[in-house]
A = this chain, B = another copy of it.
Amino acid sequence: MKAYCIGVDLGGTNLRIAAVTPEGERLEVINLATRLHDGPHAVLDDMAASIRQLIERQNGRLLGIGVGSPGPLELPAGILHHPPNLPGFDGLNLSTELERRVGRPVAVNSDANLAAYGEFLLGAGKSCHVDSLLALTLGTGVGCGIILDRKIWQGMQGAAGESGHGPIDPNGPPCPCGARGCLEMYASATAIVRRARELGLRSMEQGSDGAAAPLTSSSVARMASSGDPLALRIFDEVGRALGLSLANLVNALDLPLYVLCGGVVAAWPLFAPRMFATIREMSYVYRMSMPADPNVFEPGKTHICAAQVTDAGILGAALLPLAAGASASA
């Protein structure tokens, strides 16, 4: 009888539920819209119904269920606290609510931690044979997950890895988190579009109605790739912010591997040169252990690379229940 796990990726827009083998192979994925307007219990009911569907259809031995959620998520309790991307979910205990519906234990962690865990088990962490890594997810916001000695480092209250809100420039643009000049204000897809608007860029692409399509981080990247100097400047700023943030993280933690995940990473050639130049300039720990070619992994050197797994988050969620003590608290 085949064995499998179920991983749930709860996002503000999409809800995805997957059956995954213990080796990380996707057996089946259910894609739904997250019914935020119907409230959190409708979303939990959708989650539970999909889990039951997968259990029925896989007809194997279910090894465990894991859920990744946007934060702030109090861990190990699994309680959401005013999550900006899940309005209405404040105070909800994700694990007990879902356990009640499916009658089985459910492991919960943050989406950024599980993306790091998925990359650790199946992606860059696996191919580089390391026990520790830090992953920054550059999407709508900037998430961060830290794996230390094969465990998710979740901190005292589950808020470790909020480096997306570490200050890059305390005089920078105000961030929804209440601070100013956070990494997220420079290196997220949202920040790229905001900067493009500030600099007066307009999409050269047409929507279905013939009007200019709205700007996205991908369209700004395409403008940069075709040589637009303002668009190039935006990705240079992305690289500089990432370099400064990574300099702080490399100096603090001295890990062998830092992985960049998320949609913005498709623009790697546009931001990586400035990122590497900045980290070389600002971190003597990086210079002590700099590889001859920043794009090639060398054992014992500090490697910074793009994610190697698509959907690391849902895979990390599925495999989370397999590892006893997969997470560590302060």
Closest to A157 in B: B289
Taking CB atoms, residues of chain B closer than 8 Å to A288 are: 72, 81, 157, 159
Q: How many monomers of this chain does the complex have?
A: 2
Closest to A146 in B: B252
| A236 at the binding interface (Cβ < 8 Å) | no
Taking CB atoms, residues of chain B closer than 8 Å to A131 are: 330
| A178 at the binding interface (Cβ < 8 Å) | yes
Stretch at the interface among A30-38, A60-68, A163-171, A316-324: A163-171
| A296 at the binding interface (Cβ < 8 Å) | no
A252–B162 touching, CB < 8 Å: yes
B282–A170 touching, CB < 8 Å: yes
Stretch at the interface among A42-50, A86-94, A99-107, A148-156: A148-156
Q: How far is the CB of A300 from chain B (nearest CB, A)?
A: 7
Q: Mark A233-266, 1 if CB is under 8 A from B, else 0.
A: 0000000000010011101111110000000000
Q: How far is the CB of A130 from chain B (nearest CB, A)?
A: 7
CB contact between A252 and one of B130, B157, B166 (< 8 Å): that residue: B166
Taking CB atoms, residues of chain B closer than 8 Å to A249 are: 252
Taking CB atoms, residues of chain B closer than 8 Å to A256 are: 156, 330
Q: How far is the CB of A299 from chain B (nearest CB, A)?
A: 10
| A-B residue pairs in contact (CB < 8 Å), sample of 8 | A159-B251, A162-B285, A163-B252, A165-B251, A177-B284, A248-B252, A253-B330, A256-B330
> Given A131-B330, A163-B248, list of 4 further CB < 8 A pairs?
A162-B284, A163-B252, A167-B282, A177-B284
